[in-house]
Amino acid sequence: MQQLHTPIIDFHVHLFPDKMFDAIWDFFSKDYQWEVIHKFYYRECIQYLRGRGIEKIVYSNYAHREGIAKGLNEWNLQVLDENPDLYCFAAFHPADENALASAENILNHPRVLGFKLQLLVQRFFPHDPRLFPLYELVADRGKRVLFHVGNGPIGNEYVGLAHFKKLLLRYPDIPANVAHMGAYEYQGFMDLLDDHLGLYLDTSYAFFKDMQGEGGFDLGNAPLEKYKDRILYGSDFPNLILPRESEIETLLGYALSTDFYNRVFFRNGLNLINAIVPPDYR
């Protein structure tokens, strides 16, 4: 198997306050029968990833209901102050009082890259008009939005390619990362890359060995090579029910070009960070 000879930027890590992590893991176990194998709190997560060669960590969290984004973002500022090499997609909920003003404020931090919208959990559509001012703010400030908008591994009425296409009709140039390669509608989300140059896909969840042929990425090598400058490595750590190394091993087993691995695991992420974060704060 090919070896990985590049630094790694993990562009999809979850960090939450300890009690929220406990609640998330309990929900996964009771509602989905998923047992998370890395029940690490945020400091342990950071230490674990750094100890395994992750050079830069880009993490996110999300407001699962109204009224908690402000507190989450205050916590995010503390985490960023503790860890000057971390980058964050912050929390937002459109139903919050003064939501846009709060969003403007958190974007002032140079290592806040934008916002995470977890549409499956937050239960609103990507084309919800309440989000339009946020999208315009993010674009004006040169930041990005990280979307969980695919219908895998669990779907509901708020996610899926059709909803995301409705958003793109209004904002075709939206600067956005789509988590999980758009699982399970891989082909449809990859097809968007030709016409929407602000879009990137991240690898999280899509390449577990145990899922190849059962919900994992199934389009073969050609589209990965074609779009190697628009794909970001992400692990979904620590909310994993399978080992994070499995996805790296699967991608290495594809025996793609050296340029693919350099770009996906490091260069693409570095370019996005460099485009957003001033030099003195990288």
Sequence ranges of the domains in the chain: 8-277
Question: Beta strand pairing status for 231-232 and 144-148?
Answer: unpaired
**C-alpha span between 130 and 134 (Å, rounded):** 8
Backbone φ/ψ region at 155: left (φ over 0), alpha (ψ -120 to 50), beta: beta
Determine contact, residues 251/6, Cβ cutoff 8 Å: no
**C-alpha span between 83 and 49 (Å, rounded):** 13
Task: Among 3.40.710.10, 3.10.310.30, 3.20.20.140, 3.10.150.10, name the CATH number for the domain at 8-277.
Answer: 3.20.20.140
One-letter identity of residue 182: G
Q: 273: part of which helix (H) or strand (E)? A: helix 268-276
Query: What is the structure's pLDDT at 275?
Result: 98
Backbone phi, then psi, for 98, in 5-degree steps?
Answer: 55, 35
Tokens found for residue 224: 């990965």
Backbone phi, then psi, for 220, in 5-degree steps?
Answer: 80, -170
One-letter identity of residue 24: I
pLDDT in tens, the chain (282 residues): 678 989 999 999 999 999 999 999 999 999 999 999 999 999 999 999 999 999 999 999 999 999 999 999 999 999 999 999 999 999 999 999 999 999 999 999 999 999 999 999 999 999 999 999 999 999 999 999 999 999 999 999 999 999 999 999 999 999 999 999 999 999 999 999 999 999 999 999 999 987 766 789 999 999 999 999 999 999 999 999 999 999 999 999 999 999 999 999 999 999 999 999 999 999
Q: Is the pTM of this model over 0.95?
A: yes
Buried b (16+ CB within 10 A) or exposed e, 208-221: beebeeeebbeeee
Backbone phi, then psi, for 10, in 5-degree steps?
Answer: -95, 110
Query: What is the structure's pLDDT at 2?
Result: 72
Query: What is the structure's pLDDT at 3?
Result: 80
